[in-house]
Structure 1
Amino acid sequence: MSSVKMKKGDEAYANTLRKALDGLGEVDVDLKEGRVIVQTESPSSEVHDKIEATGRKAVLSGFGGQSAVALINTTGSVVDRTPVQGVVRFTAISAKKPGVLVDVVVDGLEPGLHGFHIHESGDVSLGCASVGDHYNPRQSRHGSPEASRSERQAGDLGNLRADESGRAKIRIVDAELEVAEIIGRAVVITSSADDLGLGANDQSLFRIACGIIARSA
C-alpha cells in the first residue's frame, strides 16, 4: 500500500497513476484517502519509483513477504510533533539465514546527516524518549553498521543523508538483523550525525522522530 498526496476529486491524476503502474498488477486508487493499493510481485522500489515519476511524493506503508514496517513520527504523541514523516521497511533476504533489506524514505529533515537506529522498545507513551536504548542483544559497543558483530550493536544502522529538500532515501542491507527479532521495537532518527562510536557527539543522541516496527502483511 502506498500513500500519495492527492486532492479529493483528482480523477485526472488517478488515471495518470494507473497508467504509470500498468503492468505491475492490480491497482486500486482511493482518491478520498489519498491511497493506492498495488497487488504485485514486483520489488517495492519499482512501485515507489513509478509513483514518484508522476511528480508526486509517495510513501510505501506495507509490502508483502516476511517483512516489517515502521511509520516514522506517527506515534500519536504530542511530545514528538515535528515535520519529519516517512517509512522504514525491513524485508528478509532469506528464510534460512539472517539478513534484512532496509528501505528508507523520510521527509522533513534538515539537510545533512542524521543518526539512524533501532531501539529496544516500541513504547512511545512518552514519545521517542521511552523507546529505550539501542537494540543490543549481544551487549556490544556502539559502532558502525559495517563493523564486526563484536564492534557494533545490532541496532546501529549508521546515518541517513537528507538532501536539500529534506528527504532521505536509502536502501541498505544488514547481514545481522532478522525481521522477527525487531518487530515491536522502534526506529529512531536523531538530530545530527551518529559518531559511529568514534567520538563524543552528544547531539547524535537527540531523538527527533521515531516509529514502532510492526509486522507487514
Structure 2
Amino acid sequence: MKVLIALALLGCSSLVKADQPKKAIAFLQGTSGVTGNITLSQPSCTEPVFIEVTVFGLTPGKHGFHIHEKGDLNDGCASTGGHYNPDKVTHGAPNDQVRHVGDLGNIVADENGLAKTSFSDTVVSLYGSRSVLGRAFVVHAGVDDFGKTNHPDSLKTGNAGGRVVCGVIGVLFLSDEPEQPCSSGTPTVLPALICLLITFFAVRVLGN
C-alpha cells in the first residue's frame, strides 16, 4: 500500500511543478558613446517580469524606452524594426490597457547623463511564443508621448524621435528543464489542492 501511495504522490507532483525562473540581459551600444545594460528576470510565466536599467551618456531628461521586434543590429538600431506589437494595436503608456508589448514608457537621465531605474511589467514575458528573448531594447532621443498627442507618429511610436542606443536581449539564465505549458493565469493553489485530494483518496481507498 505504501508503494501505491508513493506512486500516487509522484503522479500528482507533476501538477504542481513550478516553472523554472528565467533571466535575460541586453548590452547597449549606440551613438556618441552611449552605453548601458538591461537585465530582466521572471520567476514563472504567470508572474511579472522585473526589469533593471542602467544607461550612461544620455542627454539629461526623458527618453522613450521600448522593446523592438527584431534583434538585428546589422544596420545599428535602425534594423531592429518597429515596437514589438504582436497584437497589432496602437501605441500607449506602460499602464494603458491598449499598448504594444514593447511599450515601456520613458527612462530619465540625470544631469550626468545616467539613467538608472527598475520596475515590473505584466505584459512583457520571457516565456512562450510571445517571449522577448532575441528581440531588442531601444532608447530614443526624445520623450515618448504615450500616444496622447496629435502628432502623426504618436499612436505608432509615441513620437520619441531617433534611436540613440540599442541592444539584443540574450539569455542570462535558462534552466535545462523542459519548459512546461503556462497555466494561463490559473491560481497556483489549485494544482496543490488537486494533489492533496488525489493523495487523500489514495490513502482512503487503499487503506480499506
Q: TM-score, normalised by structure 1?
A: 0.63
- Conserved in 1, the CA contact under 8 Å of 2:55 and 2:114? yes
Distance 1:125 1:72, change over 3 A: same
Name structure 1 gaps, 5 residues minimum: 1-64, 74-79
RMSD: 1.8
Matching of residue 69 in structure 1 with residue 25 in structure 2: yes
Q: Deviations over 1:20-70 (max 9, x none)?
A: xxxxxxxxxxxxxxxxxxxxxxxxxxxxxxxxxxxxxxxxxxxxx511111
* 1:130 partner SS: helix
Amino acid at match of 2:171: R
* 2:160 partner SS: helix
- Conserved in 1, the CA contact under 8 Å of 2:45 and 2:126? no
Q: 1: distance between equivalents of 2:34 and 2:146?
A: 23
* 2:134 partner SS: coil
Amino acid at match of 2:52: D
User: How many residues matched?
Assistant: 145
Q: 1: distance between equivalents of 2:135 and 2:45?
A: 22
How far is 1:179 from its partner?
1.4
- Conserved in 1, the CA contact under 8 Å of 2:45 and 2:125? no
How far is 1:114 from its partner?
0.2
Query: Which protein shows a greater Rg?
Result: 2
**Structure number with higher helix proportion:** 2
Matching of residue 198 in structure 1 with residue 198 in structure 2: no
Equivalent of residue 70 in structure 2, options 96, 113, 121? 121
Amino acid at match of 2:101: A
Show the counterpart of 1:160. Answer: 107
* 1:179 partner SS: coil
Equivalent of residue 189 in structure 1, options 139, 148, 153? 139
How far is 1:204 from its partner?
1.1
- Conserved in 1, the CA contact under 8 Å of 2:87 and 2:100? yes
Q: 1: distance between equivalents of 2:107 and 2:132?
A: 19
Show the counterpart of 2:92. Answer: 143
Q: 2: distance between equivalents of 1:182 and 1:96?
A: 13
How far is 1:192 from its partner?
1.0
Distance 1:177 1:98, change over 3 A: farther
Matching of residue 91 in structure 1 with residue 41 in structure 2: yes
Q: 2: distance between equivalents of 1:115 and 1:158?
A: 6
Q: 2: distance between equivalents of 1:115 and 1:178?
A: 20
Q: 2: distance between equivalents of 1:195 and 1:124?
A: 26
Name structure 2 gaps, 5 residues minimum: 1-20, 154-158, 174-208
Q: 1: distance between equivalents of 2:110 and 2:152?
A: 22
Which segments of structure 1 move beyond 3 Å, counting only runs of 4 or more? Answer: none
Show the counterpart of 1:104. Answer: 53
Matching of residue 133 in structure 1 with residue 82 in structure 2: yes
Q: TM-score, normalised by structure 2?
A: 0.66
Q: 2: distance between equivalents of 1:161 and 1:71?
A: 18
How far is 1:84 from its partner?
0.8
Q: 1: distance between equivalents of 2:165 and 2:45?
A: 33
